[in-house]
Structure 1
Amino acid sequence: MTVYRSSAALGGSPYSSHTNQQGGSHAAASASLGTIVRAIIRGFGQTLITLGLVVMLFAGYEVYGKELQVDGNKDTLNSQLNQQWSHQTGAAASTPIPGQGLARIYIPRLQKDWVVVEGVTPHDIRLAPGHYPKSQLPGQVGNFAVAGHRIKAIFYDLDQLKNGDEIVVQTRTDWFIYKVSLTEIVSPHEVSVVDPVPHHPGATPTQKMITLTTCNPKWDNYQRLIIHGVLASTQPTSAGQPPEITGS
């Protein structure tokens, strides 16, 4: 007798070979899809890391690169200002030259000092504070107004000033010691803060003031931080640096 043994009789299935082939195809397809997904995720992660490094490098440049640029530019401006003052006399000495140094400003609380240039265009104030051309000069009745970027090397910590803190301005002939009288935060459109009488366009000034303006908050520009000060005392440059700077 011929015995026919089916694969089922041996505990197998007549469809097992076909099923294995299908399962193998599905497994291969799943493995291939998984590889693609992992590659995409890996690539996305590497892109994020690269972007993060770029952002960190840019932030480092903004903090330290700009600081080096400002310091180098300050040395140049100081030398130029000394030369200007040594050759200027009379009315010529008080005539601002666009883009060039006008005065020096010291803020003892912040242990910072800068040369103030004439003008507030983006080029003028790129690496130094700038004098608003239509505002008064240091020591004059009215408002000596100065703008500066909110970067580490310039007006970054201006919000630390308190009423009574000194802002010292040096010109060729005099030292002017102002004292902070008011701090305010305003809209960028509130240009009256640099008027001869802040917030009162057209009013006749009676005080000798200084106003410093910068962006607010730090690393942004949708507001303006304003520091106002009033002249407290004056002394000639021939008398040397005032005690507000020397600490004596």
Structure 2
Amino acid sequence: MTGPSPTEHRPRHRALDQDDIATTIIPRLPPEPKADDTATTVLPRVPAEPQAQAPAEADATAIIPKITPDFPESGTDASETAYIPKLSDTGAAVPPAAAAKLPPTPSTPEDDDRPAAPETPKGVTVVPLRPVRTEEGYRSVYSEYTRTSFGSVARAISRGTGEVLITFGLIVLLFAGYEVWGKSAIVDAHQDELNHQLEQQWAQQPTVGPSAGPSPAVVKPANGAVIASVHIPRLNKKWAVVQGVTPADIRYAPGHYPDTALPGQVGNFSMAGHRTPAIWWDLDKLKPGDSVVIKTAETWFVYTVTGHEIVLPTAVQVVAPVPDKPGEVPTKAMLTMTTCNPKFNNYQRYVVHAELTRSQPVADGDPAELKG
């Protein structure tokens, strides 16, 4: 019996030489392949997450050709290079044709930290930050844009003028507020002083008994002298009344028109007062039927409001002996109070008229109109 030929006793796998070690990348996995599978090594496909249907090439098993000269039946040239397909995010193999259509790889944090080159908008001039050296010294790079011109001078003048006008307006506003509300405390202090002076004057005046009115022999008071006090129950206010209506006379109190009747006399007892919170600010709140009570040294005179009117400052007929009827002879005692109108202005006069209804001696106490 003839023995096996040297070819039949040839071992199935020979020892790897140096060339095989350099070219064999992935070892053969069991089970042993058949004779026709020795040319290639098959890698099992890793299951991928569910995704949209990939091209036909993606469904194929990824095969890396084994480069070896011992298996020429594989049809692979030893000079060729094995290509590993590109993997998608899910791990599935993507063929080169489909890989070219994938979106670009996102930037890394290192790429995000890298400053991007700024784009210069249209119409914007880029000015260098370093100063320019000239024969006269260094010149600011902004000097061309900040140089003095007619427009810059006009803008500076208009801006300065506006600031001055705003400051002046604020000063005027503050002064007006002081005139309206800030002087109230000063007026109240002067009123207290005038009332105290009036009480002392009445205490030193000899008593001649009750009288329905002042004696005809009474001498006209001097300008600035305190002559009476006026009480207005509706406003819950009272003021000392001085003689005279000049700005100095009525600065802190209502003033009596010197050419008109005195309290209680037949005629028109007329007074003027500033439209300030400390004096006759709310004179327009008086209504017909309200009481205005005048106190002298010996007598209370109770007047009842009959109406009001708004006139120009030149309408002096409102303080005539018979209001609004100059030249007519009076037959009864009247009272007229005038003040500026409207509030915060003085281009009109607000006028209140009243008529004497009764009188009573000071010795009998305060009148009922003040108690109610």
Q: TM-score range by the shorter chain?
A: 0.7 to 0.9
* CA radius of gyration, larger in: 2
> Cα offset for 1:46?
4.1
Q: CA deviation at 1:65?
A: 2.9
Matched to 1:244, the amino acid is E
Deviation, structure 1 residue 134: 1.0
Residue 27 of structure 1 deviates from its aligned partner by 6.5
Q: CA deviation at 1:30?
A: 3.3
Distance 1:32 1:246 in 2: 78
Aligned to 1:73: 190
Specify the alignment match of 1:148 in structure 2.
273
Structure number with the higher helix fraction is 1
Q: Distance in 2 between matches of 1:30 and 1:124?
A: 63
After superposition, the Cα gap between the structure-2 partners of 1:37 and 1:137, relative to the gap in structure 1 and judged at 3 Å, is same
For this pair of structures, how many residues does the alignment match?
A: 226
Equivalences for 1:17-166 in 2 at 5 Å?
Answer: 28-32=143-147, 43-44=160-161, 46-89=163-206, 95-166=220-291
Higher alpha-carbon deviation: 158-167 or 43-52: 43-52
Q: Is the 8 A contact 1:85 1:93 kept in 2?
A: no
SS at match of 1:152: coil
* 2:359 alignment counterpart: 234
Could you tell me how far apart the structure 1 residues matched to 2:339 and 2:289 are? 20
Counterparts in 2 of 1:36 and 1:98: CA distance versus 1, 3 Å: closer
Residue number among 207, 225, 230 corresponding to 2:350 in the alignment: 225
Match for 2:314 among 179, 182, 189? 189
Q: TM-score, normalised by structure 1?
A: 0.80
Measured after TM superposition, the shift of residue 233 of structure 1 is: 1.8
Q: How many Å separate the matches in 2 of 1:201 and 1:56?
A: 41
Between the aligned residues of both structures, percent identity stands at 53
* Matched residue SS, 1:63: helix
Q: Per-residue deviation at 1:105? A: 0.3
Moved more, 168-177 or 34-43: 34-43
Q: Which one has more relative contact order, counting CA pairs under 8 Å at least 6 apart?
A: 1
Report the TM-score when normalising by structure 2.
Answer: 0.55
Query: Do the aligned residues in 2 keep the contact of 1:70 with 1:127 (CA within 8 Å)?
Result: yes
Q: Which structure is higher in strand share?
A: 1
**SS at structure 2 position matched to 1:105:** strand
Write the deviation string for residues 22-68 of structure 1: whole angstroms up to 9, x where unpaired.
Answer: xxx99643344698777656645543442343123212311233212
Deviation readout 1:59-102 (Å, 9 max, x if unpaired): 23112332122111111111111121112235687642321111
Report the counterpart of residue 16 of structure 1 in structure 2.
Answer: none
Distance 2:320 2:165 in 1: 47
